[in-house]
Amino acid sequence: MRESRVSNLLPFGFGAWLFFSAYLCSLLLLGWLGRKARKEDSLQDFYLAGRGFSFFVLFLTLYATQYSGNTVFGVTGASYRLGFPWLISVHYMLAIIVFMRTYAFKLQTLARSRNYVTPVDYLKDRFHSRLLATISSIVMIVALSNYLLAQLMTMGRALQGLAGPAGDIAYNYGVISLALIMVIYGTLGGLRAIAWTDVIQGSVLFVGFFVLLLLVINQFGPLSIATETIAKASDLDKLERPNSSMLREWLSYIFLVGIGGALYPQFIQRIYSARTTQGLRQSFAVMAFMPFITALIAVIIGIYALAYIPGLEGAATDQALSSILRIVQEQSLFGYALVVLIFSAVLAALMSTADSAMLSISSMFIKDIYGVHIRPNASEQELTRLGKRCSWIVVGLLSLLAILLKEQTSLIGLLDRKFDLLVQLAPAFMLGIHWSGLRTGPVLIGLVLGIIIALTLAFGPFSFVVAGKVWGFHPGLYGLAVNLSYAILGSRWLARRENFDPI
Amino acid sequence: MSSSFKHKTLNHTFITVIYLFLLVLVIPWYWPENDARQFYGFPFWALASLGVLFLTSVFTAMLCLQNAESACEKVG
């Protein structure tokens, strides 16, 4: 009954629904197999898959996790609004790998020898401060909840764009049904199941993006005609070099998203789950080229949409990709079949990112908050069981919020605030792992100062904050500048004072 | 100061300098603002930026594939 109502909303036939159903059922099957493959009822087995990921699984799970619904819809939508200046999305995707490289390999070795499960386990071990660990957990949980909310909203928009006039109802169906499937396989098999689904999702995403590019070129002609069409429509600013203000934004995005993205808890947990440092290094080496075959294609699709589907505004620009797909699918049976494949890739991008965020949130809440402050003597089995319940509650609440907020904000807006918070953890992770002179007190005070500055600038009523940025730079970077300076200078000052202490 | 520490510091300085050099070039501030010329649909400034970005990818991949010197280092 419910299936037939959904079919009436979307321009997909029985065959397409069969394909989607088979694809989604395969995710549930992998969840069940992941549960069967568990070796013990422990946090390490559930949240890190027993630290057994080889290069192949590691690469595909990193790839599927990094390229999300924001990449597919947010980048396409922003390219539609801004044109070629949004090429910055390709740059910041690479910046994430560059910044991760600065600490990932050393952290993986430490995590293996000291049995870290959550990102905060490293901070506890390095700085021995309960307060620093708790604040860091809260920052990561808030940032990831924001991220998961954005993914759930994109799930809704994925269906909304294809549904045409009945989009509002399709949005609700998209959020609820996909979130439900995700939480089932995620809580059945933990990270093992999620990584296995990432292998499928990463492969589908990889192939889907290539197919998408070929399909769009076949449908609309070469990119040169699209850019000429944009030029004729007097949208020259969308083809020209970014102005000086936008160039400052480029620099800001490279550092903000590069550093913030490198500190995603779900990435850190994938670093922990690598079987060897060598496999991790190889995965990163391949990941360094992925922006060219994923984010760049998303930008190109946005340019095509700008040329051939003018008139979208505000949050509707995030539906630029869906609108392109809708046109392609109406042209031929072959186009229709390929759109079904691409739509599966889109679902893959969304679900693979959202499930990782869900698992990270539950692990941090259970191990770093509940297991420390509420029930310090809880057993691993109890924490694992509660972690699964926590996933259900988090996804349930955020799905409800995604439905209530569907018209409130564009995806890129959501993306910015999350990174403003996450970058404040950079001194503790990226500097703390290399410099033994970094002290706990200055890191803690620097973190608090950074968060206060970032949030005050982001949400305060200041006339000098334009479009959420100060002179083209995100508030989080101002906070990070103060945070980092305090951490370094404070640590040096403490060391000097101890050296001159007459006692 | 041991020779291995000196070598490591020099290595990190060299990597940082290369990345800063690439960062300066990847942001197309040096390109004329009103240049609308294009090649296969890509504005020239975009191709220049993407070219430098590709070099950054190659450099990053090379660093990742270097033998791990950090694997047996002490935590900071």
For A258-306, the DSSP string reads HHHHHT-HHHHHHHHTBS-HHHHHHHHHHHTTHHHHTHHHHHHHHHHHH
Asked if A224 and B38 come within 8 Å (Cβ–Cβ), the reply is yes
- The mean pLDDT of B46-55, rounded to a whole number, is 97
> What is the residue range of B48's domain?
3-65
pLDDT digits 0-9 by tens, B15-43: 999 999 999 999 999 999 888 788 999 99
**Does residue B75 lie within any of the structural domains?**
no
Q: Where are the alpha helices (DSSP H) in A37-129?
A: 43-48, 55-66, 69, 76-82, 88-101, 104-114, 119-127
Minimum distance, in Å, between the CA of residue B31 and any CA atom of chain A: 7
Residues of A in contact with B49 (CB under 8 A): 87, 91
> Out of B27, B41, B73, whose CB is closest to A223?
B41
Residues of B in contact with A431 (CB under 8 A): 76
Residues of B in contact with A294 (CB under 8 A): none
- The mean pLDDT of A216-239, rounded to a whole number, is 90
For chain A, the average pLDDT equals 88
Alpha-carbon torsion A60, A63, A65, A70, what sign? Answer: negative
Q: Where are the alpha helices (DSSP H) in B1-76?
A: 3-26, 44-65
Minimum distance, in Å, between the CA of residue A102 and any CA atom of chain B: 10
- B52–A contact, CB cutoff 8 A: no
Residues of B in contact with A288 (CB under 8 A): 57-58, 60-61, 64
A494 three-class SS: helix
Residue A17 vs residue B59, higher pLDDT: B59
Q: Measuring CA to CA, which residue among A355, A478, A451 is closest to residue A142?
A: A451
Angle at the Cα of A308 from the Cα atoms of A307 and A314, rounded to 5 degrees: 75
Domain count, chain B: 1
- Test mutation, B5, B22, B75, chain A, max A CBs within 10 A: B75
Of A111-125, A183-197, B52-66, where does mean pLDDT reach its minimum? Answer: A183-197
Asked if B34 and A433 come within 8 Å (Cβ–Cβ), the reply is no
Domains by residue range for chain A, with CATH:
2-408 (1.20.1730.10), 435-503 (no CATH)
Q: What is the ipTM of this complex?
A: 0.89
Instruction: Return the pLDDT at B6.
Output: 63
**Does residue B70 lie within any of the structural domains?**
no
- B33–A contact, CB cutoff 8 A: yes
- B61–A contact, CB cutoff 8 A: yes
Alpha-carbon torsion A279, A280, A286, A290, what sign? Answer: positive
**Does residue B60 lie within any of the structural domains?**
yes
**Does residue B10 lie within any of the structural domains?**
yes
- The mean pLDDT of A259-287, rounded to a whole number, is 95
**Does residue B71 lie within any of the structural domains?**
no
- Phi, psi angles (nearest 5°) of residue A469: -135, 155
Residues of B in contact with A243 (CB under 8 A): 33
A2 pLDDT more than 50: no
A272 pLDDT more than 90: yes
A302 pLDDT more than 50: yes
- Stated length of chain B: 76
* Per-residue confidence band for A503, with pLDDT thresholds at 50, 70 and 90: low
pLDDT digits 0-9 by tens, A126-171: 999 999 999 999 999 999 998 888 888 888 877 776 666 666 788 8
Q: Measuring CA to CA, which residue among B71, B76, B70, B75 is closest to residue B8?
A: B70
Residues of B in contact with A241 (CB under 8 A): 28, 31-33, 35, 43, 45
Asked if B45 and A434 come within 8 Å (Cβ–Cβ), the reply is no
A443 three-class SS: helix
Residue pair A27/A170 in contact (Cβ under 8 Å)? The answer is: no
Residues of A in contact with B43 (CB under 8 A): 84, 227, 239-241
Instruction: Return the pLDDT at A5.
Output: 42
**Least CA distance to B48: which residue of chain A?**
A241
A336 three-class SS: helix
- The mean pLDDT of A435-464, rounded to a whole number, is 94
- Test mutation, A241, A245, A297, chain B, max B CBs within 10 A: A241
A502 three-class SS: coil
Angle at the Cα of A419 from the Cα atoms of A417 and A425, rounded to 5 degrees: 125
CA distance A234 to A229: 9
Q: Which residue has the tokens 């809704």?
A: A156
- Specify burial of residue A425 (Cβ count, 10 A radius: 0-12, 13-18, 19+): buried
Residues of chain A with pLDDT > 70, as a percent, come to 93
- B54–A contact, CB cutoff 8 A: yes
- B5–A contact, CB cutoff 8 A: no
Minimum distance, in Å, between the CA of residue A248 and any CA atom of chain B: 9
**Least CA distance to A223: which residue of chain B?**
B41
Q: Measuring CA to CA, which residue among A32, A115, A149 is closest to residue A367?
A: A115
* Residue A72: Cβ within 10 Å count: 32
A257 three-class SS: helix
Angle at the Cα of A258 from the Cα atoms of A255 and A264, rounded to 5 degrees: 130
Instruction: Show the tokens assigned to B21.
Output: 């050099």
Q: For helices A55-66 and A333-364, what crossing angle results, to 10°?
A: 100
pLDDT digits 0-9 by tens, A341-358: 878 877 877 888 888 899
Q: Which helix (H) or strand (E) holds A360?
A: helix A333-364
Q: For helices A104-114 and A277-287, what crossing angle results, to 10°?
A: 150
**Does residue B24 lie within any of the structural domains?**
yes
- The mean pLDDT of A286-313, rounded to a whole number, is 93
CA distances from A169 to A90, A177, A346 (A): 33, 12, 19
- B56–A contact, CB cutoff 8 A: yes
**Does residue B76 lie within any of the structural domains?**
no
**Least CA distance to B39: which residue of chain A?**
A224
* Per-residue confidence band for B7, with pLDDT thresholds at 50, 70 and 90: low
* Per-residue confidence band for A122, with pLDDT thresholds at 50, 70 and 90: very high
